[in-house]
Amino acid sequence: MNKTTRTTVTSPITGDQYVRIDHASGLTIYVSEMEGFSTTEALFAAKYGSINTQFKTVHDTDYCMVPEGIAHFLEHKLFENEDCDVFSLYAKTGASANAYTSFEKTAYLFTCSDNYQASLEILLSFVQNPYFTPESVAKEQGIIGQEIRMTNDDPGWRVFFNMLKGLYHSHPVKIDIAGTEESIAEITDDLLYRCYHTFYNLHNMVLSIAGNCKADEVLEIADRLLKPCEDLELEMVFPEEPMSVVSAETIDYAPVGAPIFHLGIKCSPKSGYENLKAEMEAYVAMQILSNASSPLYQSLLEDGLVNDTFSSSIFNGNGYFCIIFDGESEDARTVRTRICDTIRKAQETGLDAELFDEVRKSAYGGMALDMSYVSSAANLMMNAHLNGVKPFDLLEIISKMTLEDVNNFLRNEIDPELSTLSVVMNPSADTGKEPKTNE
């Protein structure tokens, strides 16, 4: 049996600390003891999200393919056990509990102001004790089917996934996290148990807890409740994804007050530390080019092409990386042209050095401040572990970043030709132009 090891890690930049525990059970635990705080937040997460539909373990001879949406379905079902609903257990401790499934992870969490040990015992207990029956699965299929129909009616959801479908040929990131009504109809209790025992293996999970807590107390509870398990040497595979985009433009229709758009630019995916570094370089570049004080934003605003909903973001993960501009516009095609022209000009001339310093310092200050909040600290440790990096890597990257780094990313990684414009508008607002496509 493996031994439990414990390490205290201190940021050389801010002096913040966390304790990393590599538990004998196979679980990695992070604890941030934050003096002066009365609240505690804990997250128990599996590296398992909607994109993980093909996998194999050391015991499998070939890859297993499961229905889209099963990770989200499993998250819903895990809150029910044979005796009662988990939320009723949390109600007795006074904790606020929740869970969510994203593209790459499923997390179960609680926040509380006292007696965190009792809530932590609930968290570790119910996540390790699945209970599925054919009857409960059939009931959940109806509930999640209704949820899928509701999100399909959400213009904001549709404009985002239409963009992903325009960018990605094969990667499952283009599939709705909840799946489809057809895919969830294929889910059985046996499939749920298989996915549970594969992905909810403690070697594929992390426990992150921050705030009014003590590492010794967390370790005592972990020693009592964690169930040691075999490392399944889990492998996940994704279809080969070309760098080309599927279509240059997608128009969809819904009853919206104003047309909404997402412009996505496809970049080459990275992993681990390089992914985090590229994400931060992309973030700084986009802030310089498109934040509220940028010439691009001001000109778009003055010409009535956008309003204060305009923003940019980075969307990246295992096998995907894109830059997104979004907002409301009556003429999204012109907005697209302006954005792409601005990027091309910046690639030629380089980014402004003074603006780089301002954005980098602002980003650094915001990240350092975030680490002083309980929820941010807990999420930082969880996300870093699941992404294959260390919690303090983010500050290190931004502190060492140079203008040359950002300019190199802008020139070498961003190609406006690899873009998709997704628009959702009222049918009466259509310009009558045919959507453009790239074959």
Task: Tell me the per-residue pLDDT of 236-288, one tens digit each, with 9 for 90 and over.
Answer: 999 999 999 999 999 999 999 999 999 999 999 999 999 999 999 999 999 99
Q: Say yes or no: 184 and 289 in one domain.
A: no
pLDDT at 20: 98
Q: pLDDT digit string (tens) for 55-81?
A: 999 998 899 999 999 999 999 999 877
Q: Supply the pLDDT for residue 123.
A: 97
Residue 434 resides in a domain: no
CA distance 184 to 142: 10
Are residues 278 and 208 part of one domain? no
Residues 231 and 264 grouped into a single domain = no
Q: Look at residue 85 in the predicted model and tell me its pLDDT.
A: 82
75 is catalytic: yes
Is residue 184 situated within a structural domain? Answer: yes
Do residues 339 and 259 share a domain? yes
- From 33, 41, 68, 75, active-site residue: 75
| Strands 235-236 vs 96-101: parallel, antiparallel or unpaired | unpaired
Residue at 438 is within a domain:
no
Instruction: Flag whether 241 is in a domain.
Output: no
- What is the arithmetic mean of pLDDT over 153-176? 96
Q: Which residues contact 307 (CB under 8 A, 6 or more apart)?
A: 301, 327, 328
pLDDT of residue 2: 81
Percent of the chain with pLDDT over 90: 91
The boundaries of the domain holding residue 36 are 5-236
CATH number at residue 317: 3.30.830.10
Q: Mean pLDDT for the chain?
A: 94
Same domain, 216 and 361: no
Residue 365 lies inside a defined structural domain of this protein: yes
Domain membership flag for residue 143: yes
Q: How many domains does the chain have?
A: 2
Question: Is the per-residue pLDDT at 39 higher than 50?
Answer: yes
Whether the Cβ atoms of residue 265 and residue 320 lie closer than 8 Å to each other: no
Among 207, 236, 265, give the residue marking a domain's end.
236
Q: What value does the CA radius of gyration of the chain take, rounded to a whole number of Å?
A: 23
Other CB atoms within a 10 A radius of the CB of residue 377 amount to 24
The pLDDT-based confidence of 435 (bands split at 50, 70, 90) is very low
How confident is the model over 368-423, as pLDDT tens digits? 998 899 999 999 999 999 999 999 999 999 999 999 999 999 999 999 999 999 99
Q: 429 or 342: which carries more pLDDT confidence? A: 342
Q: How far apart are CA 23 and CA 110, in angstroms?
A: 21
Report the C-alpha gap between 424 and 429 in whole angstroms: 10
Q: Report the C-alpha gap between 77 and 133 in whole angstroms.
A: 10
Q: Is residue 336 part of a domain?
A: yes
Which pLDDT score is estimated for 263? Answer: 98
The pLDDT of residue 428 is 76
At 204 the three-state DSSP class reads helix
Mean pLDDT of 104-133: 96
Do 203 and 290 lie in one domain? The reply is no
Pairwise CA distance, residues 124 & 142, whole Å: 28
Domain contains 181: yes
Amino acid at 416: P
Mark whether 179 and 157 lie in a shared domain: yes
Give the residue among 322, 72, 300, 302 at the shortest CA–CA distance from 177. Answer: 72
269 in Cβ contact with 103 (< 8 Å): no
Can you tell me the mean pLDDT for 85-106?
94
Domain boundary among 202, 236, 270: 236
Per-residue model confidence (pLDDT) at position 436: 42
What is the distance, to the nearest Å, from the Cα of residue 190 to the centroid of all Cα atoms in its chain? 28
Which of 205, 236, 267 is the last residue before a domain boundary?
236
Residues 184 and 282 placed together within one structural domain of the fold: no
- Do residue 93 and residue 200 come from a single domain? yes
In which residue are the tokens 């599939």 written? 175
Are residues 212 and 317 both part of a single domain? no
| Element housing 363 (H / E) | helix 353-370
Is pLDDT at 427 greater than 90 in this prediction?
no
Quickly state the pLDDT bin for 1 (edges 50, 70, 90): low
Contact call for residues 116 and 40 (beta carbons, < 8 A): yes
Strand-pair partners of 413? none
The tokens for 182 are 């057809």
Q: Which residue has the tokens 């705080």?
A: 37
- Work out the percent of the chain whose per-residue pLDDT is above 70: 97
Element (H, E) at 18: strand 17-22
List, for residues 204-233, the tens digit of each pLDDT value: 999 999 999 999 999 999 999 999 999 999
Q: Mean per-residue pLDDT for 102-119?
A: 96
Task: DSSP for 122-158, please give it.
Answer: HHHHHHT-----HHHHHHHHHHHHHHHHHHHT-HHHH
Q: Which two tokens stand for residue 108?
A: 């179960």
**Residues 232 and 278 both lie in one domain:** no
Same domain as 402, residue 328:
yes
Q: DSSP class of residue 434?
A: P
**433 pLDDT more than 60:** no
- pLDDT digit string, tens, across residues 316-348: 999 999 999 999 999 999 999 999 999 999 999
